[in-house]
């Protein structure tokens, strides 16, 4: 068999086996703030995917301090470079902590979902809650924002990233905002069951 024929024969199989890219667009909660490298939930997810022999490439584009506005600005270039099969949006916490208007954050989330869908990427939205000292009206509106976006734009949602973590004070760093390494396996456990089916059934 000639080299040309061999390459032609193998090319379809090689293309089919190309790993799917998972792009994580998040803030300090996904950027390993205050943690040793490899201790955050994104790195733990990457390790678990490898252990379970899921052919995926994880790109963590998270930045500490990121807002929904910042994510919306950065996303077009990230989609162009990485061409993800799955986009995980973990943003909004910094909008909430700064008391920014919920409608503005929601508009940014909707814009990011739309960008991803037009790029033929599936989307997983990761929700957050605000502490009660922000007031009942604001905290309820903020939490409902994620559910509304997910429902209306037909994307999957993890309702609360810190479920099972938020109530454990000893699982937070001294700033009382960022979870310790001990908490990140629980964070992954909140996200992984919703993420995995999206990745393993994505065509790209």
The residues annotated with a catalytic role in the active site are 28, 175, 178
- Buried b / exposed e over 4-21, threshold 16 CB at 10 Å, is eeeeeeeeeeeeeeeebb
Structure tokens at 99: 């008391």
Which 8-state DSSP code applies to residue 203? Answer: -
Q: Compute the distance between CA of residue 29 and CA of residue 62 in angstroms, rounded to an integer.
A: 8
Element (DSSP H or E) covering residue 124: strand 122-126
CA distances (Å), origin 103, targets 88, 124, 148: 21, 20, 11
Phi and psi at residue 123, to the nearest 5°: -130, 135
């Amino acid at each position: 068999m000639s080299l040309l024929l061999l390459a032609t024969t193998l090319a379809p199989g090689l293309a089919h086996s190309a790993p799917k890219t998972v792009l994580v667009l998040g803030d300090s909660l996904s950027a390993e703030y205050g943690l040793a490298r490899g201790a955050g939930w994104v790195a733990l997810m990457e390790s678990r995917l490898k252990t379970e022999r899921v052919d995926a490439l994880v790109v963590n584009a998270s930045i500490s301090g990121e807002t929904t506005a910042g994510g919306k600005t950065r996303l077009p270039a990230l989609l162009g470079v990485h061409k993800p099969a799955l986009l995980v949006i973990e943003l909004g916490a910094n909008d909430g902590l700064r008391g920014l208007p919920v409608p503005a954050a929601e508009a940014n989330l909707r814009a990011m979902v739309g960008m991803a869908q037009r790029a033929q990427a599936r989307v997983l939205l990761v929700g957050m809650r605000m502490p009660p000292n922000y007031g009942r009206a604001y905290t309820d509106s903020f939490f409902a924002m994620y559910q509304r976006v997910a429902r209306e734009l037909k994307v999957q949602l993890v309702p609360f990233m810190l479920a099972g973590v938020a109530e454990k004070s000893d699982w937070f760093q001294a700033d009382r905002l960022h979870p310790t390494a001990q908490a990140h396996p629980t964070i992954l456990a909140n996200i992984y069951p919703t993420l995995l089916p999206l990745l393993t059934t994505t065509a790209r």
